[in-house]
Amino acid sequence: MTTVEQQARQFRLLTDWYLSVLEDIEPAAGRRTLSEHNNSLEWLAGHLLVTRSRNITRLGGPAQELPFLDAYVDPTLPLPGFRPFDANRIYPTLAECARVWEQVSQTFLATLEAADERVLQAELPLSGPTGGTTLEDLLVSVVLHESFHIGQMSIIRKALGYPAMYWFPRQAHA
């Protein structure tokens, strides 16, 4: 199995986990935080959505139009330029994030699976916590990044009284 095939498998599961962790959450719960030191589900959902959409472009795919991009990204900041959570800011709803996530994820996975070695070995002006400066290196970090934040979202979900998200793909439970 190639690196791209392995990453695509991981990203497909993360795609489903994201949708699972947001499933049936009431809009007001999406805005809540567990403390003044935590992000809301809305911020986390949008943050992951923006990150995934940016990686489509890095893979050579079409730029994604996200009307709420400025809620998450400040172009005057150094890369990656993410704005921190602001309890006074209005973020897109979880339902909107889930809808756009499905569209963005389809494009992301298709673009990843079509990427050739030249694209994956392209040097980037940033590196992730796993090291390296190629796009392939960054994607390894992105898998961990998405897992980390979906884990946070899962904890928030349970703390708000919702049942746990599914570990296996949701269609296995249908």
Per-residue pLDDT of the chain (174 residues; tens, 9 = 90+): 788 899 999 999 999 999 999 999 999 999 999 998 999 999 999 999 999 999 999 999 999 888 899 999 998 988 788 999 999 999 999 999 999 999 999 999 999 999 988 999 999 887 788 889 999 999 999 999 999 999 999 999 999 999 999 888 877 555
Q: What is the pLDDT of residue 172?
A: 54
Which amino acid, residue 79?
L
Using CA atoms of 16, 20, 22, 26 in order, give the dihedral in degrees to the nearest 10.
150
Q: What is the pLDDT of residue 82?
A: 92
Q: What is the pLDDT of residue 78?
A: 85
User: What is the Cα–Cα distance from 85 to 74, expressed in whole angstroms?
Assistant: 12
Record: fold of 3-173: Four Helix Bundle (Hemerythrin (Met), subunit A) (1.20.120)
Domain map of the chain by residue range?
A: 3-173
Report pTM.
0.93
Provide the 10 A C-beta neighbour count for residue 166: 16
Is residue 80 reached through a cis peptide bond, with omega within 30 degrees of 0 on the bond before it?
yes
